[in-house]
Amino acid sequence: MGEIVLGMWTSHGPTLSTDPEQWTLRVVADKKRQHPFRGQTYDFDALVRLRAHEGLADKCSLAARKQRHAGCEAAIAEMAARFAAAKPDVAIIMGNDQRELFLDDLTPAITVFMGETLWDQPASPEQAARMPPGIHDAEWGHSPPERREYPACPQVAEHLVKSVIAEGFDVAVSRQLPEPPGHWSSGVPHAFGFIYRQIMRDKVIPNVPVIFNTFFPPNQPTAARCFAFGQAVGRALKTAFAGKRIAVFGSGGMSHFVIDEQLDRRIFEALRTRDQMALASIDEALLQSGSSELKTWIAAAGVLFDSDLTGDVVGYETCYRSEAGTGTANGFVAWQ
Model confidence at 227, pLDDT cuts 50, 70, 90, reads very high
Residue length of the chain: 336
246 φ, ψ (degrees, to nearest 5) = -115, 135
Q: Inter-axis angle of helices 223-237 and 154-166, to 10 degrees?
A: 120
pLDDT in tens, 9-52: 999 999 999 999 999 999 999 999 999 999 999 999 999 999 99
pLDDT in tens, 263-301: 999 999 999 999 999 999 999 999 999 999 999 999 999
Q: What is the pLDDT of residue 185?
A: 87
Helix (H) or strand (E) holding 91: strand 90-96
CA distance 212 to 226: 9
Taking a C-beta distance cutoff of 8 angstroms, is the pair 236, 163 a contact?
A: yes
Under CATH, which number does the domain 3-335 receive?
Answer: 3.40.830.10
Model confidence at 305, pLDDT cuts 50, 70, 90, reads very high
Which residues on adjacent β-strands are paired with residue 297?
none
CA distance 154 to 116: 6
Widest CA span in the chain: 57
pLDDT in tens, 59-85: 999 999 999 999 999 999 999 999 999
Model confidence at 210, pLDDT cuts 50, 70, 90, reads very high
Residue 211 has pLDDT above 80, yes or no: yes
Q: Inter-axis angle of helices 294-304 and 261-273, to 10 degrees?
A: 10
DSSP tag of 204: P
